[in-house]
Amino acid sequence: AQSVTQLGSHVSVSEGALVLLRCNYSSSVPPYLFWYVQYPNQGLQLLLKYTSAATLVKGINGFEAEFKKSETSFHLTKPSAHMSDAAEYFCAVSDLEGAQKLVFGQGTRLTINP
């Protein structure tokens, strides 16, 4: 069964600093992987997705993620943090069957310090 582990429930960075949010997955088949962002009291918004094309995936708001099969990782990065990036971030893997269920990590809360 697929699973996702997000390392660090809280990450704090200074404005302008590199953002790195970690995600490791477990999948018995080549996975589809996703990053979502959730602002307070809102639904989840898709940031980016990996679907077995390019291993470096660019998303919205300047975020990108690199799929590394050897490390079973899909870490999310942004070169320079903005105050508006403060939110909860979720990594997810698709089970690729039937109803296309997603398995989510527990989330990482990103705080940006001025």
Partner 1 sequence: SQTIHQWPATLVQPVGSPLSLECTVEGTSNPNLYWYRQAAGRGLQLLFYSVGIGQISSEVPQNLSASRPQDRQFILSSKKLLLSDSGFYLCAWSVGQWVPEQYFGPGTRLTVT
Stretch that binds partner 1, among 14-22, 31-39, 69-77, 79-87 (CB under 8 A): 31-39
CA distance 112 to 86: 6
Cβ(73)–Cβ(79) below 8 Å: no
Q: What is the enclosing helix (H) or strand (E) of 76?
A: strand 73-78
State both tokens at 50.
Answer: 């990996």
Stretch that binds partner 1, among 16-24, 43-51, 57-65, 72-80 (CB under 8 A): 43-51
Q: Is 17 in the site for partner 1 (CB under 8 A)?
A: no
Shortest Å distance, C-beta 16 to partner 1: 28
Stretch that binds partner 1, among 11-19, 34-42, 56-64, 67-75 (CB under 8 A): 34-42
**Under DSSP, is residue 60 helix (H, G, I), strand (E, B) or coil?**
helix
Shortest Å distance, C-beta 39 to partner 1: 11
CA distance 41 to 104: 18
Binding site for partner 1 (CB under 8 A): 32, 34, 36, 41-46, 49, 51, 90, 94, 96, 98-102, 104-107
